[in-house]
Amino acid sequence: MQKNNNQVKAINKNVRSSARKISIVLDQIRGKKVDVVLRDLDFLRKRISKDISKTVKSAVANAENNNQYDIDNLYVKEAYVGKSLVMKRFRPRAKGRASPINKPFSRITIVLSEKKEVKNGPKN
């Protein structure tokens, strides 16, 4: 795995929601600037948006403190989710039977990158 110098990553390992529900929100934030993403997540009517917002803020803090990036130039380069562990529970049913309940966990990965601003010189 090569280390890319202009990328910063934050991983939230055990989020109590399914990957399918999280990926709906991550599709909306991919490719946007960080300040726009945080604003959109505040107004989004999904429970999981708070956990995604915490992960984005963690990635911004990593970029600022560890790599001295300018926060205004950061954007979400990658945002993806993977499955983690599954808690298995059982619910009692009629006639002595039981039905399974799966409680999935997920792992959110946010990768930020810094946009390089191209300065155009005077045209002669």
Neighbours of 26 (CB within 10 A): 20
Each residue's pLDDT tens digit in the chain (124 positions)?
Answer: 445 568 899 999 999 999 999 999 999 999 999 999 999 999 999 999 999 999 999 999 999 898 888 888 899 999 999 999 999 999 999 999 999 999 999 999 999 998 876 666 566 6
Residues 6+ apart with CB under 8 A from 29: 37, 40, 41, 52, 56, 76, 79
- Counting DSSP H helices and E strands in the chain, the numbers are 3, 3
Determine the Cα–Cα distance for residues 53 and 88; give it in Å rounded to an integer.
28
Can you list the domains of the chain with their CATH numbers? 7-114 (3.90.470.10)
Q: What is the pTM of this model?
A: 0.83
